[in-house]
Amino acid sequence: MASLNKVLLIGNLTRPPELRYTPSGTAVADLRLAVNRNYTTQSGEKREEACFLTVIVWGKQAESCGEYLDKGSQIFVEGRIQTRDWEGKDGQKRTATEVVAERVQFMSRTKGAGAGAPAAVGAPQGFADEAPGGDDDVPF
């Protein structure tokens, strides 16, 4: 039986990226992403709820996220879900569910938004250039 672990998300950062390096020098960034869902109740009332997710980004993509993204930046993430288990200092078992990014695309103005700011990180060459213009267009 085949299985698939693939996640596609569009959301806004709730805080600036936290960039750090492993002892071997590999960059890793933690992003906190808010993803909203709009729906209508059976009584016709419109509601919105937010889901807050941790996104882990590795390598050069992590460094670009740390350099160009800030709180409020809108991003598109393609990745996979990962769970981790550990024991806290208090002896309690803990579990974290995270998204490990394979690709991060910047969709809004970023803190370094100038001539050198990449539109897509980890995307195939030319992907960002092929995206249609305008705020209402989603490039996928």
**How many angstroms separate the CA atoms of 140 and 130, rounded?**
10
Which residues make beta-bridge pairs with 76? 10, 105
With respect to residue 102, please indicate whether it lies within any of the assigned structural domains: yes
With respect to residue 38, please indicate whether it lies within any of the assigned structural domains: yes
Q: pLDDT tens across 84-105, in order?
A: 999 999 999 999 999 999 999 9
Confidence grade of residue 1 (pLDDT, cut at 50, 70, 90): confident
Our CA angle for 117, 17, 96, nearest 5°, is 140
Mean pLDDT of 120-133: 38
Strands of 7-139, DSSP E: 7-13, 18-21, 27-40, 46-58, 74-87, 93-106, 120-121
With respect to residue 19, please indicate whether it lies within any of the assigned structural domains: yes
Q: What is the CATH number of the domain that holds 121?
A: 2.40.50.140
With respect to residue 40, please indicate whether it lies within any of the assigned structural domains: yes
Cβ contact 40:113 at 8 Å: no
| Mean pLDDT of the chain, nearest integer | 84
**Domain span at residue 101?**
7-128
pTM value? 0.74
With respect to residue 36, please indicate whether it lies within any of the assigned structural domains: yes
